[in-house]
Homo-oligomer: A and B are copies of this chain.
Amino acid sequence: MTMTSTDAATDGHEAVALLERSRSVVQPELRAAVESLPPAVRRVARYHFGWERADGSPVAGGAGKAIRPALVLAAAQALGGEPHRAVTAAVAVELAHNFTLLHDDVIDEDPTRRHRPTAWTVFGTTDAIIAGDALQALALRLLAEDRHPASSPAAVRLTDCVIELCAGQQTDCALERRGPNDVSLDECLTMAMAKTGALLGTSCALGALYADAGDEEVAALDAFGREAGLAFQLIDDLIGIWGDPDRTGKPAGADLVAHKKSLPVVAALVSGHPAAEELADLYLRPMDEAAVARAASAVERAGGRDWAQEQAADRMSRAVQQLSGAVPDLAAAGDLLALAEYVTRRTR
């Protein structure tokens, strides 16, 4: 997934430094926004962001990588804007992202997030739902209050994106309930675009808006983020089957054990290859270690692995193409490219 020889040489160090720089700019305003919440809601948010333990004692560090705010700032930079004027938009995106995480964890009953118990397991589903609601409101409050002329179109894009995220999460849950022979690849791609691509695209689009970019440039940045987001999802899905447990922190074949209808799996299921039937059968009952190995092999034999790898490469090339349309001198887009490279390689 090497995009430029420089990126390959830095091996993600550049992106790590970028993310750190972005966090140092974004964190103070993010913290201040969360501090403005009423105490009982704030407590859940502080825990969720990793700033506090469940008992309210402070944690050094915390907060995850914050890729989306970094994309906002890098996009503003790439289009000749002043990144420091886009910090509010970056904070809004991060708040919206964390609102969806809080609700998704409740809905999916996920017990852990960023190696910690999820907020709903600590505070209950009521408080987690309410904290999510408040973070969405807070995200849009920041944009409504912001005096930058791009703040209204940014709010339109962010709310559209939230609605798309809602549709994506809804489809994801609906697909989980269906049988292995009752899902189409198109549905899954649309769902992945909605759940992962949309907010990465919106982050880049907001950065462009805050750099006073024209409609076409904003659309191109949105497309760049979306395509990079889908590439990321495809690679994440490959790792969910063939990832090295030592590097991912997840057991091998975790997605198969969970009967997850990830993109390589669905590509295999709809392939028409004889191995697709074997895979569908395996997806109808609990899998032991041997069954997981057979399922992974079936995905590979049915062409799901190759398809996902080609798709990921194809999506990244489309992403770069979109970007180069909006930023003819790709050197100005170095930070954006480094971040896109980073998100698609980080879990390998």
Residue of B nearest to A100 (CB): B133
Mark out the residues of chain A between 116 and 175 whose CB falls within 8 Å of any chain B CB in the assembled complex: 125-127, 129-134, 136-138, 140-141, 143-145, 151-153, 155-156, 159-160, 162-164, 166-167, 169-171, 173-174
**A284 lies within 8 A of chain B by Cβ:** no
Contact for A145 among B131, B140, B156, B162, CB less than 8 A? B156
Encoded as 1 (CB less than 8 Å from any B CB) or 0, chain A from 171 to 192 comes to: 1011000000000000000000
The answer for the CA separation of A7 and B99 in the assembled complex, in Å, is 45
The answer for the CA separation of A110 and B280 in the assembled complex, in Å, is 39
The answer for the CA separation of A136 and B140 in the assembled complex, in Å, is 10
State whether A166 touches B41 (Cβ < 8 A): yes
State whether A173 touches B126 (Cβ < 8 A): yes
**A48 lies within 8 A of chain B by Cβ:** no
The answer for the CA separation of A72 and B71 in the assembled complex, in Å, is 39
State whether B130 touches A169 (Cβ < 8 A): yes
State whether B136 touches A170 (Cβ < 8 A): no
**A103 lies within 8 A of chain B by Cβ:** yes
State whether A133 touches B162 (Cβ < 8 A): yes
CB distance from A318 to the nearest CB of B (A): 24
**A270 lies within 8 A of chain B by Cβ:** no
CB distance from A39 to the nearest CB of B (A): 8
State whether A166 touches B137 (Cβ < 8 A): yes
Residues in chain B near residue A41, CB distance under 8 A: 163, 166-167, 170
Residues in chain B near residue A134, CB distance under 8 A: 162-163, 166-167
**A38 lies within 8 A of chain B by Cβ:** yes
Tallying the copies of this chain within the complex gives 2
Most chain B Cβ neighbours within 10 Å, of A37, A125, A131, A159: A159
**What DSSP secondary structure best describes chain A's contact surface?**
helix
Residue of B nearest to A136 (CB): B136
Residues in chain B near residue A152, CB distance under 8 A: 144-145, 151-152
CB distance from A333 to the nearest CB of B (A): 28
Residue of B nearest to A152 (CB): B144
Contact for A155 among B103, B144, B162, CB less than 8 A? B144
State whether A133 touches B136 (Cβ < 8 A): yes
CB distance from A209 to the nearest CB of B (A): 12
Contact for A140 among B126, B130, B133, B140, CB less than 8 A? B140
**A106 lies within 8 A of chain B by Cβ:** yes
**A40 lies within 8 A of chain B by Cβ:** yes
CB distance from A16 to the nearest CB of B (A): 32
**A107 lies within 8 A of chain B by Cβ:** yes
State whether B133 touches A159 (Cβ < 8 A): no
Using known A-B contacts A41-B166, A166-B41, determine if residue A159 contacts B171 with beta carbons closer than 8 Å.
no
5 contacts across the A-B interface (CB closer than 8 A): A41-B170, A126-B170, A133-B136, A144-B144, A145-B156
A-side residues, CB < 8 A to B, are: 37-38, 40-41, 99-100, 103, 106-107, 125-127, 129-134, 136-138, 140-141, 143-145, 151-153, 155-156, 159-160, 162-164, 166-167, 169-171, 173-174
